[in-house]
Amino acid sequence: MTNPLLADRADRFELPPFDRIAETDFLPAFETALSEARARVAVIAGNSAPPDFANTIEALELAGESLGRVSAVFFNLTGTDSTPGLEALARDLAPKLSAYGSEITNNEALFARIEALWERRDALRLDPEQMRVLELTRRRFLRAGAALQGTARDRLTGIKSRLASLGTQFGQNLLADERGWVLPLAETDLHGLPAWLVAAARDAGAERGLGGPAITLARSLVVPFLQFSPRRDLRERAFRAWAARGANGGATDNRTIAAEILALRAERAALLGYRSFAAYKLEPEMAGTPEAVRALLMRVWEPARAQADADAEALAALMAADGVNGPLEPWDWRYYAERRRRAAFDFDEDAVKPHLSLDAMIAAAFDVAGRLFGLEFRPIDVTLHHPDARAWEVTRGGRHMAVFVGDYFARPSKRSGAWCSSFRGQRKLGREERPVVLNVCNFAKGAPALLSWDDARTLFHEFGHALHVVLSDVTHPSVAGTSVARDFVELPSQLFEHWLEVPELLDRHARHVETGAAIPADLRDRLIAARNFDQGFATVEYLASALVDLAFHDGPAPADPMARQAEVLARLGMPRAITMRHATPQFAHVFAGDGYSAGYYSYMWSEVMDADAFEAFEEAGNPFDPGVAQLLERHILSAGGSAEPQTLYTAFRGRMPGVEALLRGRGLDRAA
């Protein structure tokens, strides 16, 4: 019987056959797919015909087709519905997949064919996308060590294998700490909590089999608990557990793993001739250098810290008025900030959340996509990776564009956070394929599920990534969708967040879950007016993480990352009641893989563009202006990585932006 992971997909949407896939299917599927990929690469490298774009570059684009399909299913499952068996297999596979990647980039005959094409690139009559793919392929080989020889090449291969294993272990340790902690609550501990949070705590306790309400380390539970619980002792317990993830000692402690990862990255960069890992990592990004990144971050740090310091004084005064002795602590900030916000803007989450049901916010996101890009979303009844997930067919003018899958609820088997990935990408090479794109969130489950304003923003953010995939219109899979520079990839997602604040959209979709009444205009306006409330806190906690990440990678690797973290924060003058958004032992963006290593700054780099990009719609006088939307799709969303990000953005906007729109958007221009 054919392995279901490798079989032709009979479903008209070509979804993985989740109802037929067993955990035991993955290892043989990976073995078969790796063998097939190796055989295809050997044919390309050993081809006696002179190299041309089709028999070398395009053939290489398709060589790992089966491996990509199997990997997409496996790694989406390990992120959304992991099991001990899948986690063990992931640890086993990490060095094997790394070895396969090294085999390709270390293949001298293959690299010689690529170099031959590069040397006569001007005579090949390639179109712009083909030239870009050739350039990126060659760059990928060089940055992976294709030009190294002997012991240096062998050492680099070993480093990449070890880093793959360490990154997998880091992520699994974090997941273990998150699902291993729970705070049972007595009925009296629920006093002061909004009804939706009480319901979510009861659901969490029932899911854990506790027979009563509980708080877990799911962000959708622990953060609102810190925001609303009047019990300072319980807030402290919850915060300390949240902050200690990955640093609890024992088998799941990530601190020594982080130190080894940083040392290996520094060695990797040195082998390739770079002065630091940050210099290596940033070379192909828009920022280009660590100095450019640091300049941007510090340009925003000073006004953000000034705002945070002023806010801390106001919060400490509220705390003192409550008769609480001692300084403002990290477990106090969210609680007193919420009290202050409620007084300043005369609303609380209990008034807002009934208008922000999950279904309503999904419909709102779909509405924006329809009005901007003509997309339509139809629910489809298909078997997916988990019963909580649901799917829609995306069409435009009757043409199938994609399948969109949403997996929105927190559960112990899912890693924390929110992200966008795919079960299949877009391509025209070989045969046309339309994507199957996945948005993953960790909202609290409810009947119905109600979102906070931050939850709704997260949903819009990830859907912006999904649109980057859905609207992709390129030939080659290596430059499709979100295959762009790391500091460009957040532009579509952060830009899409702006439409959540369009009054017209809220009037249409933010309707009371029980009565169907539209959100009152005064409440809507107060909600929008409060969008920059506590931006000092939000900006400082983010920037601290980004600056620590940069410091880790721009220079010699620290023997003790926690000591380096403390040094950086002290030098910055970090407010004592604010902690990093992601402290080192839980910094999965940076250590569970190297996607955001020396790159966590990219959210802010992209924000410079997204603030400026939405101003294009404001300048047109219409947040749904069809002309601006058409330019956005043509030059950003459909283009993928087919050109340099600067070229794409300039084609859309006519120029590159400055930092001013970002500061205005965060309300920090007055503090600058």
Residues annotated as catalytic (active site), given as ranges? 462
Instruction: Please state the separation of Cα 87 from the chain's center in Å.
Output: 21
Closest CA to 579 of 261, 252, 353, 247: 247
Cross-strand partners of 407 = 440
Is residue 601 within 8 Å of 294, Cβ to Cβ? Answer: no
Cross-strand partners of 463 = none
**What's the rounded Cα separation, in Å, for the pair 111 and 324?**
67
Residue 397's alpha-carbon distances to 199, 322, 467, 544, in angstroms, are: 42, 60, 16, 46
**What's the rounded Cα separation, in Å, for the pair 332 and 233?**
10
Report the amino acid identity of residue 503. Answer: P
- How many C-beta atoms lie closer than 10 Å to residue 517's C-beta? 10
Please name the residue ranges forming H helices in 530-591: 535-553, 561-572, 588-591
Pairing of strands 436-443, 419-424: antiparallel
Cross-strand partners of 438 = 405, 421
**What's the rounded Cα separation, in Å, for the pair 248 and 13?**
45
Per-position b or e across 459-488, b if 16+ CB within 10 A of its CB: bbbbbbbbbbbbbbbbbbbbbbbbbbbbbb
**What's the rounded Cα separation, in Å, for the pair 638 and 82?**
33
**What's the rounded Cα separation, in Å, for the pair 262 and 564?**
12
- Which structure tokens are listed for 339? 């009290």
**What's the rounded Cα separation, in Å, for the pair 506 and 646?**
33
Is residue 413 within 8 Å of 83, Cβ to Cβ? Answer: yes
